Amino acid sequence: MKVSIDQDLCIACEACPALCPDLFAMYPNCDFAYALVEEVPKELEDCAQEAARSCPVQAIIIED
Ligand code: SF4
């Protein structure tokens, strides 16, 4: 599973780093989030899916 963030859509709500701090972080200026990894470790796949569902603007892109 791969994960990335569409930074044109992200509104910096900070939900994804709150849910999955091992997968997502905010840029220091907090304009948008970014994925810390490209390939999601197996044990974090559920968290990645939950973050994608929780994103208010569907900016988290998951690919199998
Ligand atoms: S949950 Fe979505 S809008 Fe919020 S910081 Fe993450 S990618 Fe951006």
CATH number of the domain encompassing residue 9: 3.30.70.20
How does the average pLDDT of the chain come out, rounded? 96
| Tens digits of residue pLDDT in 25-56 | 998 877 899 999 999 999 999 999 999 999 99
pLDDT, residue 48, reads: 98
Domain range holding 13? Answer: 2-63
What would the mean pLDDT of 11-30 be, rounded to a whole number? 93
Q: Torsions phi, psi of 39, nearest 5?
A: -95, 120
How many domains are there within the chain? Answer: 1
Tell how far the Cα of 7 is from the centroid of ligand 1, in angstroms: 9
Which atom of ligand 1 is nearest to 12's Cα? 5
pLDDT cut 90: percent of the chain above it: 91
pLDDT, residue 14, reads: 95
Nearest to 55 by CA among 6, 42, 44, 45: 6
